[in-house]
Structure 1
Amino acid sequence: MSAAVSTRPVRVRPPWWRRLPVLQQLQQSVGLQRGMLVAGLVITGIFLVVAIFAPLLAPYRYNQLRGPEGLFGAQQPPGPDHLLGTTVGGYDVLSRVIWGAQTALLVIIVAIVLSAFLGIALGLLAGYIGGWFDRITIVIADAIYAFPSLLLAIVAAIVISGGQSSLWGGILAAAISITVVFIPQYLRVVRAEVLRVKSEAFVEAAKVAGAPTSRIMFRHVLRNSTRTLPLILTLNSSEAILTLAGLGFLGFGIEPSAAAEWGYDLNKSLSDVTSGIWWTSIFPGLAIVLVVLGITLIGESLNDLADPRLRARRKPARTAEEAVAAEEPVAREELGEVL
């Protein structure tokens, strides 16, 4: 008697690019949640393209004051030569906005890399080792929450470059303040996940098998403790842009001859608003709002999709008859295999 051949379909694993964090959540989202996520991805994608290709997209340099026909002139209205007009200092507004995207991207990269690296490392050690190291780390992390990020950024800007920053001086001032303030967030999230994962059966099996501690920590524990990090990365990215803009608006940002920065341009355009010169302030401010909005939409969408209760509400509930009908073919196949 020949053995029964199973007709159960074989599950095909999706390609690697469909398992990326944001793309995987995009496939799970529906309705308004998908619209928010798509809008955030589009705005953030445009920001990244503009920042990366700023030298090609900008009509002038960020510190250029004259063209082939002479000086640009201060506070020139939008026209053919300057699509968004010129600033009070005589710079092209469109060029400053485009080059400012590159400065904002550099701050995000430096701040997020530093804070994520240190926060994840401390969270992994605190959660896995425990004891006195865990208690001291948590106390220090709670104390850091008392420091406002913008105030710490001002102090860092003064210490690093005396308040008048070069390109990397301003980037480091904002990045260091964000790093110190946001390390506790990564630390607490990773520590909580490590405490949960290290008690799982596969970790205990690795210990019994004699695997070294470093292999268990990084290969088994850390790999399963970083699922919620994309959400924190997006929220911290928007905070990094706001911190840099706040520094520039208060006069502790980057000099215009060193790099373009949206907060600095807003600070210099305050007097223009009362005179009816709107183009020097509206476009840098709009750039800040749109980029922060796009990144925040991604973060909030990832937060909702990470919550099983919110994700379940978006799926239409099946009735009892539909559930039985869906399970009936599987039950028949299993019964056939047994017989």
Structure 2
Amino acid sequence: MAQRRLLDRLPVVHQLRQSVGLQRGMLVAGLIITGVFVLTAILAPVLAPYGYSQLRDEDGTFGAQQPPGPQHLLGTTVGGYDVLSRVIWGTQTAALVIVVAVILSIFIGVLLGLVSGYIGGWLDRVLVVVADAVYAFPSLLLAIVAAIAISGGQSSFWGGILAAAVSITVVFIPQYFRVIRAETVRIKSEAYVESAKVIGASPTRIMTRHVLRNATRTLPLIFTLNSSEAILTLAGLGFLGFGIEPTAAAEWGYDLNKSLSDVTSGIWWTSVFPGLAIVLVVLGITLVGESLNDLADPRLRTRRRADSGPHPTADVSVVPGGTVDDLAGLDTVEHRP
């Protein structure tokens, strides 16, 4: 019983128990795709037959644009890299960028939103104007500018990951800032916050113990939705040539960029598999995020539960002293003065 209660407290398990019908199918499908993505990223050194920058083995060089075969199950790229290995190693790069970018975004965005919403005044107005200006700027263009400013688009493995993560962080900070600030402004007027002020609690204690705990309940939803955006932003940076070098790490957007000329020549395998990896990962994370978002809305959750089963009809009285069934005998009732 204790173990079951502990499992029910886990966010994903709790939401999975609440879901029904199509909603549960979407959530399960998203969790499976996301789980495969995470496991592939963790086990990339074991699953990949070759290194991400390996061009030869004991039999010699791989050769460029080799079709799928026994030696290379998904063929080779125009640069002579194994496509399967590049796709598998690319999951590790994408996962690292997501983790670093979202953690930095949450830390900075939550801190600024909490301080801005609770303190208010001129500091709040300045931060709101800056956040709105950054949020109104095209996200991909802002990420390109940040990537150029950080590394010039050329860097080592960790340097490239940090450059891509920081450029994505700049895009995501305003989203966390606006959500946390709005929640903080609402929560700081609650009765329990006023009570904490009356008993002499410091502003730091109120923000960390009372406001922060209640203002961050929607962060898991934003985390999942922003993770899919981070994948697309990373792929966009690599496709435009501002990503990670192929000798430093495998990146799906870069591989798509190099396969553009192959498409017109009938060489399909160099572009299909990196593109399919991007689509599947974004689809899986988006399904999880949208499902959690729907389940967080009590109106949608209640409606799905109500629609999932038959609606019993209550035996209610529609006439004084009787039910619908009594109407059949009204004509035979003897009326007495």
- Secondary structure of the 1:222 match is helix
Measured after TM superposition, the shift of residue 14 of structure 1 is 5.5
TM-score (norm 1): 0.87
Q: Which runs of 5+ in 1 are unaligned?
A: 1-10, 324-339
Q: Is 1:223 aligned to 2:199, yes or no?
A: no
Specify the alignment match of 2:289 in structure 1.
299
> Which runs of structure 2 are paired with 1:76-225 in the superposition (5 Å)?
76-225=66-215
Letter in 2 for 1:229: L
Give the Cα separation in 1 of the matches to 2:4 and 2:57: 53
Contact 1:43–1:291 (CA under 8 A) maintained in structure 2: yes
Measured after TM superposition, the shift of residue 319 of structure 1 is 5.8
Percentage identity across paired residues of the two chains: 77
Give per-residue Cα distances to partners, 1:231-262, cap 9 Å, x unaligned.
Answer: 11111111111111111111121111111000
Contact 1:44–1:294 (CA under 8 A) maintained in structure 2: yes
Give the Cα separation in 1 of the matches to 2:44 and 2:187: 44
Q: Is 1:278 aligned to 2:256, yes or no?
A: no
Give the Cα separation in 1 of the matches to 2:77 and 2:312: 63
Measured after TM superposition, the shift of residue 22 of structure 1 is 2.2
Measured after TM superposition, the shift of residue 213 of structure 1 is 2.3
- Secondary structure of the 2:54 match is coil
| 167-176 vs 243-252, greater mean Cα deviation | 167-176
C-alpha change, 1:12 and 1:269, in structure 2 (3 Å) is closer
Letter in 2 for 1:170: G
Q: Is 1:15 aligned to 2:2, yes or no?
A: no
Specify the alignment match of 1:6 in structure 2.
none
Contact 1:157–1:173 (CA under 8 A) maintained in structure 2: yes
**Runs of 4+ with deviation above 6 angstroms:** none
Contact 2:135–2:175 (CA under 8 A) maintained in structure 1: no
Specify the alignment match of 2:250 in structure 1.
260
Measured after TM superposition, the shift of residue 303 of structure 1 is 1.2
Measured after TM superposition, the shift of residue 221 of structure 1 is 1.1
Contact 2:143–2:170 (CA under 8 A) maintained in structure 1: no
Count of aligned residue pairs for this structure pair: 313
| 18-27 vs 293-302, greater mean Cα deviation | 18-27
Contact 2:31–2:284 (CA under 8 A) maintained in structure 1: yes
Specify the alignment match of 1:36 in structure 2.
26
Cα RMSD for the two superposed structures: 2.0
Measured after TM superposition, the shift of residue 200 of structure 1 is 2.2
Specify the alignment match of 1:75 in structure 2.
65
Give the Cα separation in 1 of the matches to 2:157 and 2:315: 62
Give the Cα separation in 1 of the matches to 2:180 and 2:92: 30
Letter in 1 for 2:114: L
C-alpha change, 1:14 and 1:217, in structure 2 (3 Å) is farther
- Secondary structure of the 1:15 match is helix
| 271-280 vs 287-296, greater mean Cα deviation | 271-280
Contact 1:157–1:169 (CA under 8 A) maintained in structure 2: no
Q: Which runs of 5+ in 2 are unaligned?
A: 317-337
Contact 2:48–2:88 (CA under 8 A) maintained in structure 1: yes
Give per-residue Cα distances to partners, 1:94-152, cap 9 Å, x unaligned.
Answer: 10000000000111011101111011001111111112221211111111112212112
| 220-229 vs 143-152, greater mean Cα deviation | 143-152
Give per-residue Cα distances to partners, 1:161-186, cap 9 Å, x unaligned.
Answer: 22223223332332222212211111
Give per-residue Cα distances to partners, 1:39-63, cap 9 Å, x unaligned.
Answer: 1111000000000111111111101
Q: Which has the larger radius of gyration?
A: 2
Give the Cα separation in 2 of the matches to 1:139 and 1:183: 13
